[in-house]
C-alpha cells in the first residue's frame, strides 16, 4: 500500500467519519453484517481488523470481549487505538500495531476466526497487491473462518461526482471509472488519494479466486452516501425508517450495484 495513502490518513480525522447520520448508515450496516457471521463463530472469537483506521470496529468488538488484533499502515491510527484501549481498559482484549494488509508478516497461519478488511482493498491500485491482500487474509483464517471485505462500487462514482464534485464530471474521469478503476493521488483526474473502484461482479470473482466461498454480499450504504445532504436532515423517526428500509434491501442486487460501499463475506473451507 502506498506512502500516499498513509500520508493522507495521517492528516485525516478518521474519528469523525461516522458522526453524520448519512455516514453512520455504513457503520451500522457493517456492524449488522459482522454480527450476522460472528454469531456462527465461537462465543469469544479472535478477530483481525486489517486496516483498522482509528479503531471504530476494533474497539466495538474488544468491548464485547472478543480477542482483537488491529493493524494499520498509518501511525496516527495505531496511536489512537492504543490510547482508546488504555482509556477503556481493553488491553487484555485488544492489540494494535503498524502493519500492512498485503503482507501480514509475523502472523501465523490459521490464527483468527474472522478477518475484517474494511479499508485496504479500495486503496490498492495494483492487482497483485489486491490478490495478496485477500490471500494473506485467507492464510491467517482458521478453517471455517469468515473474511469480510469492503470495496467501493465503481457505478456509484459518477452519480456521486454529479452531486458533490462537479468539477470532476468529465469524460476522462468517466473513462477511468468504467475501464480502469484506478486513480492515483495527485493525478489530474484523481478526486481522492490512491483509489481502486470495482463492480460487485468483479469483487466476487476476486474473492472466489482467493479460494473463499461467498456467503453474503450487501451494499453498506446504498445511495445514502450520494444523497447525504437529504439524509442528514431527516427527522429522527424518518431517519429510522430510512435505515430500516436500507437494512431490508441492502442485499438486493440492483441496490448493491448502486451502493457506494459494498461488503462481501467469504468463508474458508473446513
Residue 15 clears pLDDT 90, i.e. is over it: no
- Burial class, 240, CB count within 10 angstroms (exposed 0-12 / middle 13-18 / buried 19+): exposed
Helix (H, G, I), strand (E, B) or coil at 217: strand
Model pLDDT, residue 96: 98
Model pLDDT, residue 17: 87
* CA–CA gap between residue 245 and residue 21 (Å, rounded): 15
* CA–CA gap between residue 91 and residue 110 (Å, rounded): 23
**Fold of the 3-268 domain:** Rossmann fold (3.40.50)
Residue with cell 490518513: 9
Across residues 194-214, what is the average pLDDT?
Answer: 98
- Work out the percent of the chain whose per-residue pLDDT is above 70: 99
HSE (side-chain half, CA atoms, 13 Å) at 211: 13
Residue 197 clears pLDDT 90, i.e. is over it: yes
* CA–CA gap between residue 201 and residue 194 (Å, rounded): 22
Helix (H, G, I), strand (E, B) or coil at 72: strand
Q: Are 102 and 177 in contact (CB under 8 A)?
A: no
Residue 2 clears pLDDT 70, i.e. is over it: no
Model pLDDT, residue 1: 52
- Work out the percent of the chain whose per-residue pLDDT is above 90: 91
- 3-class secondary structure for 40-66? CCCCCCEEEEECCCCCHHHHHHHHCCC
Residue with cell 482467493: 210
- Burial class, 77, CB count within 10 angstroms (exposed 0-12 / middle 13-18 / buried 19+): buried
Model pLDDT, residue 5: 86
Amino acid at each position: 500500500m502506498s506512502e500516499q495513502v498513509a500520508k493522507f490518513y495521517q492528516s485525516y480525522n478518521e474519528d469523525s467519519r461516522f458522526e453524520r447520520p448519512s455516514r453512520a448508515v455504513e457503520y451500522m450496516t457493517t456492524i449488522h453484517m459482522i454480527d450476522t457471521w460472528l454469531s456462527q463463530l465461537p462465543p469469544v472469537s479472535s478477530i483481525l481488523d486489517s486496516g483498522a483506521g482509528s479503531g471504530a470496529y476494533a474497539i466495538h468488538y474488544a468491548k464485547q470481549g472478543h480477542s482483537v488484533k488491529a493493524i494499520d499502515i498509518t501511525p496516527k491510527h495505531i496511536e489512537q487505538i492504543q490510547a482508546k484501549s488504555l482509556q477503556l481498559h481493553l488491553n487484555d482484549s485488544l492489540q494494535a500495531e503498524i502493519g500492512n494488509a498485503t503482507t501480514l508478516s509475523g502472523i501465523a497461519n490459521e490464527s483468527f476466526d474472522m478477518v475484517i478488511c474494511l479499508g485496504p482493498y479500495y486503496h490498492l491500485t495494483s492487482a497483485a497487491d489486491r490478490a495478496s491482500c485477500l490471500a494473506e487474509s485467507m492464510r491467517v483464517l482458521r478453517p471455517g473462518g469468515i473474511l469480510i471485505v469492503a470495496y467501493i462500487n465503481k457505478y456509484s462514482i459518477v452519480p456521486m461526482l454529479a452531486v458533490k464534485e462537479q468539477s470532476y464530471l468529465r469524460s476522462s474521469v468517466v473513462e477511468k471509472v468504467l475501464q480502469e478503476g484506478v486513480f492515483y493521488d495527485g493525478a489530474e483526474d484523481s478526486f481522492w488519494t490512491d483509489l481502486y473502484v470495482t463492480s460487485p461482479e468483479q469483487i466476487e470473482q476476486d474473492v472466489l479466486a482467493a479460494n473463499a466461498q461467498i456467503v453474503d454480499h450487501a451494499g453498506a450504504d446504498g445511495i445514502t452516501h450520494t444523497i447525504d445532504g437529504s439524509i442528514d436532515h431527516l427527522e429522527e423517526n424518518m431517519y429510522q425508517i430510512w435505515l430500516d428500509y436500507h437494512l431490508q434491501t441492502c442485499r438486493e442486487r440492483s441496490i448493491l450495484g448502486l451502493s457506494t460501499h459494498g461488503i462481501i463475506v467469504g468463508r474458508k473451507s473446513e
